[in-house]
A and B are shown apart, each in its own frame.
Chain A
């Protein structure tokens, strides 16, 4: 059974600082997704990582995937208040295209002025 573990679950950081969120998973997969959720809102797709060594960047966020270590990271550079949200990673271990995802519990990020 695939298990996905995120840490930390809560992260409070100051504007301008850097930090990394970690996503570990328990079985082989080369498909990992990062989502963002604002309070009271739905999930918004951030990154799709499909192979070992994949790296994607959008603004102050950069995601990477190491399939050998079963680890993905979401790195935040020079945080700003607008990045305050809950971030989820999700892993797909199914064959074919049915995309049955298992989500981590989420990391609630608060960026303080």
Chain B
């Protein structure tokens, strides 16, 4: 079974802090994704990566950056956390070029910015 592991289930940080969310997958997937999920808005793509050191902006990249130094690990960085970044963050991974395979999701990190 594919395992996508997010480092924290719950996280509380303060406004202005630099926040790191970590995601690791064990299936040698090329693609990795970061989404945020908000009530009534569904899932929105923040950033994705299709290879080590490669990244592309999603639909809502403002206020975020990412890092992919190793194939299995994809980090989401909130450079200076703000209260409007309080949300559920979901990491996902998939094979590149195999659209018959779905994205696999981690359990999510519920982040509160105070």
A-B contact count (CB 8 A): 66
User: What is the minimal beta-carbon distance from A36 to any residue of chain B, in angstroms?
Assistant: 11
User: What is the minimal beta-carbon distance from A37 to any residue of chain B, in angstroms?
Assistant: 9
A43/B90 in contact, CB under 8 A: yes
B99/A50 in contact, CB under 8 A: yes
Query: Chain A: interface residue count, which band?
Result: 20 to 34
- Residue A96 is within 8 A (CB to CB) of chain B in the complex: yes
B41/A42 in contact, CB under 8 A: no
B98/A104 in contact, CB under 8 A: no
Task: Kindly identify which residue among B99, B102, B107 contacts A42, using a CB–CB cutoff of 8 Å.
Answer: B107
- Chain A residues with CB under 8 Å of chain B are 31, 33, 35, 41-45, 48, 50, 88, 90, 92, 96-106
Known contacts A35-B105, A103-B42; can you find 15 more A-B pairs with CB under 8 A?
A: A31-B99, A42-B90, A42-B108, A48-B99, A48-B101, A50-B99, A50-B100, A88-B42, A88-B43, A97-B31, A99-B96, A99-B99, A100-B56, A101-B103, A102-B59
- Ranked nearest first, the 4 interchain pairs of A and B with the lowest CB-CB distance are A97-B97, A45-B102, A105-B42, A97-B96
- For this complex, 29 residue pairs linking A to B, each with C-beta atoms less than 8 Å apart, are A31-B99, A35-B102, A35-B105, A42-B106, A43-B90, A43-B92, A43-B105, A45-B103, A45-B104, A48-B102, A50-B99, A50-B100, A88-B42, A92-B99, A96-B96, A97-B98, A97-B99, A98-B48, A98-B50, A99-B96, A99-B99, A100-B48, A100-B58, A101-B103, A103-B35, A103-B42, A103-B44, A105-B41, A105-B42
